Amino acid sequence: MSSATHVKLGKLIREYREKKGLTQFEVAQMLGHSSSQFMSLMERGLSKIPFETLGKFVVILGIPESKVMGLLMSDYEEKLRAKFVDGKTKVVGK
């Protein structure tokens, strides 16, 4: 996952956490962590978010699964396109 996608996911998580009126600490506890630093790092895009944890956020914060999947698929598609271009360039360059 790209760092830009981490930032986008973090903003999405923060948005829905705040809509629910929950603190970073409260959500961290729901996820089994004893510190709000866990949430802070993810919301700022500084930490990778495990896919399983993304699933938990969908349930806990009510984030539409389609929004999360859309961000992930967009990131994957960008990387895939770049690899295709690299492959095509190498063939054409010979």
Quickly state the pLDDT bin for 80 (edges 50, 70, 90): confident
Query: What CA–CA distance (Å, rounded) separates 27 from 9?
Result: 15
Predicted confidence (pLDDT) per residue in 27-76, tens digit: 999 999 999 998 999 999 999 899 999 999 999 999 999 999 999 998 88
Rounded CA separation 68/52 (Å):
12
User: What's domain 3-92's architecture?
Assistant: Orthogonal Bundle (1.10)
Q: Any idea what the Cα angle at residue 72 is, between residues 68 and 15, rounded to 5°?
A: 35
> Pick from 33, 57, 60, 37: which is nearest to 47 by CA?
37
Give the domain ranges of the chain: 3-92
pLDDT at 2 over 70: yes
How much is the pTM? 0.81
